[in-house]
A and B are shown apart, each in its own frame.
Chain A
Amino acid sequence: MTEQPWQVHFKIYRQRSGQKPYIQTLTLAVDPDEYILDAIERIWANHDRTLTYRHACHHSTCGACGMRVNGCEKLACITTIRSVTQNGGNLRIDPLRNFPVVSDLVVDMGDFFLRMNKSGFDSVALSEAACLPYEKPKILMDQAEQVTERLVDCIECGLCISACPAANTDKEYVGPAVLASIQFMYAQNPSQELIDQADHHSGLWRCHSAYECTQVCPSGVDPAWRIMDMRKKVLTDRIKSIFRPRSQEKKNA
């Protein structure tokens, strides 16, 4: 480290279950290139063992350490302190929005995981299918003969749901990640069941095109693109159904 350590003023949201939240302030000497999660772990280890937060893999694969850093949704494990504050600056850490707080920075993501599950989300897919249609990596072109699988992009961190204005007021809103998952599964295996999960008042039509989900997604899922693509699919299906004979309608339903 060639640089002197930075003095950063941490302001951390603290809340015990059911009690009033308060902001804990703490000044820490940090390396500007270390990650937010490193600093939080040191705060826990050296200053306050009661601080609760979620973390596991430390390399943006598990999606556990989503939190709001100076108001913006980030994965704490890959966000450097330099990218969000300055020497002598503030660092406000809040839990994700739009999920009930369990304790401090830990939120209850149970409903979200259940919805992901219901959409049949599969975290491994053929490489071809796992890519967004507009990004066909060269390696796939070269290996056209070879069938490869890979982990899909969504790590179920919930950042998109925290950033979404519609999810702010509608607790039944299916939400960007789940709608993206529905689109992803539908693209591989179209079914009426998936359309029904997306085409209702708390589904696709609650999206108001703020594109915040895509803005904060740490994994390149582009949920907004997937929502719009699913809209196109549902609208096309809907318009076609007007011209479809009734008997066939029943069969598809």
Chain B
Amino acid sequence: MPNQPEANNWPRWFDPRSRSLGTFGFILNRVTALGLTLYLLMHLVALGQLAKGADAYDGFIALVKNPLFKLGELLVIAAGVIHGLNGIRIALNSFGIGVRRQRSTFIALMAVSVLVIAFFAYKMFSEG
């Protein structure tokens, strides 16, 4: 990869080697952003089944009840929680609030994310 800035360097966005915690925040935010956008479009297309009537939609729901889809759904929730909480941190920082505590804020918010994700995972997989 070239040494000067170039669009081809984009894989480096996701390379955390010899970088600090802030880069993990950046990587998480970017990965979840792309994942959630993909989900949003898929979600809109999938909900189109509603327009086709009861049979189409209920058949679709039966399909997404299998564990693989549920895992995917959990990933979406995880991405949403991480992106949302991290986003609040970045928004506050951009108004000059809590910039010097961004590191500890990040750790605290990610700890909260883990708890929320664990809660949803438990709820989704225990209720069947």
Interface residues of A (CB under 8 A from B): 70-72, 95, 97-101, 107, 134, 163, 165, 167-171, 173, 208-212, 215, 224-225, 228-229, 231-232, 235
CB pair B5 A173 closer than 8 Å = yes
Contact A72:B99 (CB < 8 A) given known A95-B3, A107-B3, A169-B9: no
Contact A235:B100 (CB < 8 A) given known A212-B19, A212-B20: no
Name which residue of chain B comes closest to A100, CB basis.
B4
Q: For A100, list chain B residues within 8 Å (CB).
A: 3-4
For the complex, is B35 an interface residue (Cβ under 8 Å from A)?
no
CB pair B5 A209 closer than 8 Å = no
Report Cα–Cα, A163/B89, bound state, in Å.
21
Report Cα–Cα, A71/B19, bound state, in Å.
8
Nearest-Cβ distance from residue A69 to partner chain B, whole angstroms? 9
Task: Name the interface residues of B98-113: CB closer than 8 Å to any CB of A.
Answer: 99-100, 102-103
Q: Is the interface of A mostly helix, strand, loop or mixed?
A: loop
CB pair A71 B26 closer than 8 Å = no
Contact partner, B22, options A209, A225, A232, Cβ 8 Å: A209
Contact partner, A225, options B17, B89, B100, Cβ 8 Å: B100
Interface residues of B (CB under 8 A from A): 3-7, 9-10, 12-13, 17-23, 25-26, 29-30, 89-90, 93-96, 99-100, 102-103
Q: For A107, list chain B residues within 8 Å (CB).
A: 3
19 contacts between A and B (CB under 8 A): A71-B18, A99-B4, A100-B4, A101-B4, A134-B100, A165-B26, A169-B5, A169-B9, A171-B5, A209-B89, A209-B90, A211-B22, A211-B25, A211-B103, A224-B22, A231-B94, A231-B96, A232-B95, A235-B94
CB pair A210 B99 closer than 8 Å = no
Name which residue of chain B comes closest to A207, CB basis.
B94
Name which residue of chain B comes closest to A175, CB basis.
B5
CB pair A169 B94 closer than 8 Å = no
CB pair A210 B3 closer than 8 Å = no
Contact partner, B94, options A70, A170, A232, Cβ 8 Å: A232
Report Cα–Cα, A56/B30, bound state, in Å.
40
CB pair A235 B102 closer than 8 Å = no
Report Cα–Cα, A36/B109, bound state, in Å.
38
Contact A208:B26 (CB < 8 A) given known A173-B5, A228-B94, A232-B96: yes
CB pair A98 B93 closer than 8 Å = no
Q: For B26, list chain A residues within 8 Å (CB).
A: 165, 208-210
Nearest-Cβ distance from residue B48 to partner chain A, whole angstroms? 34
Contact A98:B5 (CB < 8 A) given known A165-B26, A211-B102: yes
Nearest-Cβ distance from residue B17 to partner chain A, whole angstroms? 6
Q: For B4, list chain A residues within 8 Å (CB).
A: 98-101, 171
